[in-house]
Amino acid sequence: MLKRAFSATAAMLTLAAFTVFPARARGGETGLSDIDVSARCAILMDAGTGTVLYEKAPDEPRQIASTTKLMTALVCLERCRMEDTVEVPPEAEGVEGSSMYLKAGEVLTVRELMYGLLLESGNDAAAALAIHASGSIGAFAKLMNEKAAALGLENTHYMNPHGLTEEGHYSTARDLAKLMAVCMSNPLYEQIATTRSVSFGSRSFKNHNRLMWSFDGMLTGKTGYTMAAGRTLVTCAQRNGMRLICVTLDDGDDFDDHAALYDAAFAGWYSVTVPSTTPVASVPVISGTEDEVQVRPAAAVRLLCPVGTEPVYSVKLPEFVYAAVHAGDRAGVMTVTVGGESADVELVYCRDVPRDESQRLRPLERLRRLIFGEAGAVIPYGQ
């Protein structure tokens, strides 16, 4: 199949950067399969592609303790303004477990309560925010479940905003990883959750995720513990542009397990982001104001690939296209293959090419000139 390249060298350099994003990666070649975590349930996932790099009983429903507060924060960010004031209701004073020691009747901002929720893991902050956002704990739990359904969290159900043990309150490692990816895509959540410590008046909060001080690339994390759930931990780390999420449930050695999984993954995988503005090839145009039109990915693509593997790619494009050509129209497909896993990337035209009404050559004569070089050399793609 013949294709005109806008620049053979540039095209090859661009395409060589493409890698594949398999739905489920095989960790044996990257050292992840050799790690034996202490957790009852665990998962390690690439935040950008959803590629699962490691898993252990990822779909087993479990009590999740204070990792519940990921959803509490997300719902509050969608329903509340950060500078709104909140009068602490009586129901929020003295909630058992971790606390920012709120007193009924005192007034704080939503922002202050959010820091108390995510850094100090205040169960009282969770109750105050829930009642402020919806009027009651029960009404807020309904909002949490509606959001979980909207996000496709199929094995998650909430009964409260703080994660204290309650029948019917559960999630899974996989659902929590998906939820953290959504949370970290929210700039305000990321701003709050990646804070190590902060003070408001007489209150000071310090992030309970100790890996933020000891692990290279750690962005944030949400800890949790109850007798029923054991130790729960959801973290997010980034190195060299690759952002990963790790979840462990019922894990007595959670911090060390997260560090070991991240180290192996960062050593064994790399990622590339291909912008939608990057042309990858071009197609001859018949009867247009220009002889060719470049094509590009329809949307920016986040790609993940094991270190040491080489991608194989192929492009399916028309031999030529008749003017008029419209920017954004579908042009073809690029298929990228790594280690037997393949993914398709839709290609679209980069710009408009109007029909040249002044041309008097018939389309077949125009095509003959393109093929035989009178309008420029035509080379097989990849040569």
Catalytic residues: 66, 69, 121
Q: Which amino acid is at 280?
A: V
CB atoms within 10 A of CB 199: 10
Cβ pair 8, 383 in contact under 8 A: yes
| Residue 136: both structure tokens together | 């009651």
What is d(CA 181, CA 257) in angstroms, rounded to the nearest whole number?
Answer: 20
d(CA 304, CA 301): 10
Give the whole-angstrom CA distance, residue 168 versus residue 138.
13
d(CA 51, CA 379): 36
**How many other CB atoms are there within 10 angstroms of residue 196's CB atom?**
12
Q: Is the dihedral of CA 63, 68, 70, 72 positive or negative?
A: positive
What are 220's two structure tokens? Answer: 């944030």
Which residues on neighbouring strands pair with residue 344, listed in sequence order? 335
Note whether 311 and 20 are within 8 A (CB).
yes
